Structure 1
Amino acid sequence: MTPTLGDVLAVLAQAYPPPLAESWDAVGLVCGDPTEPVSRVLVCVDPVESTVDEALEVGAQLLLAHHPLLLRGVHGVPADDPKGGLVHRLVRAGAALVCAHTNADSASPGVSDALAAALGLAVTGPLVPNVTDATIGAGRIGTLPAAEPLSAFVRRVADALPETAWGVRGAGDPDRPVRTVAVCGGAGDSYLAAARAAGVDAYVTADLRHHPAGEHLATGRDAPALVDVAHWASEWPWCAQAAGILRAAFNGTVDILVSTRRTDPWTLGETSGKRRTTA
Structure 2
Amino acid sequence: MKLADVIAVLESAYPPKTAEKWDAVGLVCGDPADEVTRVLVCVDPTSAIVQEAVEAGAQLVLAHHPLLLKGVNGVPADDPKGALVHKLIRNGAALYCAHTNADSAQPGVSDALAKAIGLTVTGPLEEAADAPGIGRVGELAEAEPLRAFVQRVADALPATVQGVRAAGDPERLVKRVAVCGGAGDSFLGTVRRLGVDAYVTADLRHHPASEHVESGGPALVDVAHWASEWPWCEQAAGILRSAFGGRVDVLVSTRRTDPWTVGATSPSAGGLA
Q: TM-score, normalised by structure 2?
A: 0.98
Pair 1:88 & 2:82 matched = no
Residue 199 of structure 1 corresponds to which residue in structure 2?
A: 195
- Structure 1: how far apart are the matches of 2:13 and 2:232? 12
What is the match of residue 37 of structure 2? 39
The alignment partner of 1:139 has SS state of strand
Tell me the CA shift for residue 132 of structure 1.
3.6
Matched, 1:169 2:201: no
Q: Identity rate of aligned residues, in percent?
A: 71
- Secondary structure at the aligned position of 2:170 is classed as coil
The question of 1:274 aligning with 2:272 is answered: no
RMSD: 0.9
Which runs of 5 or more structure 2 residues have no equivalent in the other structure?
Answer: none
Cα distance between partner residues in 2 of 1:118 and 1:242 = 14
Q: How far off its partner does 1:197 sit?
A: 1.0
Please name the residue that 1:215 is paired with. 211
Partner of 2:11: 13
Identify which of 91, 116, 119 aligns with 2:117.
119
**Residue-by-residue CA offset, 1:10-66 (whole Å, 9 max, x unaligned):** 000000000110000000000000000100000000000010010000000000000
Match of 1:240 in 2: 234
CA distance in 1 between partners of 2:165 and 2:272 (Å): 16
Q: In structure 2, what is the Cα distance between the partners aligned to 1:278 and 1:243?
A: 48
> In the TM superposition, what is the alpha-carbon distance from 1:276 to its structure 2 partner?
4.9
Residue by residue, what CA displacement relative to the aligned partner does 1:97-122 show, whole Å, maximum 9, x if unpaired?
A: 00000000000000000000000000
Q: Distance in 2 between matches of 1:198 and 1:46?
A: 32
Contact 2:18 2:130 in 1 (8 A): no
Q: Which residue of 1 is the match for residue 175 of structure 2? A: 179
Distance 2:80 2:72 in 1: 13
1:148 aligns with 2:141: no
1:213-248 superposed Cα distances (whole Å, 9 cap, x missing partner): 01111112xx11000000000000000000000000
The change in CA–CA distance for 1:91 and 1:126 in structure 2 (over 3 A counts) is same
Partner secondary structure for residue 56 of structure 1: helix
TM-aligned CA distance change 1:169 to 1:216, over 3 Å: same
Give runs of ≥4 in structure 1 deviating > 4 Å.
Answer: 276-279
Which residue identity lines up with residue 199 of structure 2 in the other structure?
Answer: Y
Alignment-mate amino acid for residue 57 of structure 2 = G
Aligned residue identity for 2:40: L
- Using the TM superposition, give the Cα deviation of residue 159 of structure 1 relative to its aligned residue in structure 2, in angstroms: 0.4
Residue 274 of structure 1, CA deviation: 2.7
TM-score, L = length of structure 1: 0.96
Change (3 A) 1:276 1:146: farther
Residue 260 of structure 1: CA displacement? 1.4
Quote how far apart the aligned CAs of 1:275 are.
Answer: 2.4
Residue 101 (structure 1) aligns with? 99
Aligned residues: 273
Structure 2 SS opposite 1:9: helix
Distance 1:14 1:277 in 2: 57
Match of 1:264 in 2: 258
What amino acid is the match of 1:73?
Answer: G
SS of the aligned residue for 1:6 comes to helix
Give the superposition deviation at 1:86: 0.1
2:96 alignment partner AA: V
- Shift in Å, 1:170: 0.6
CA distance change for structure 1 residues 210 and 277 in 2, over 3 Å: closer, same or farther?
farther
Structure-2 separation of matches of 1:109 and 1:125: 11
Distance 1:239 1:180 in 2: 25
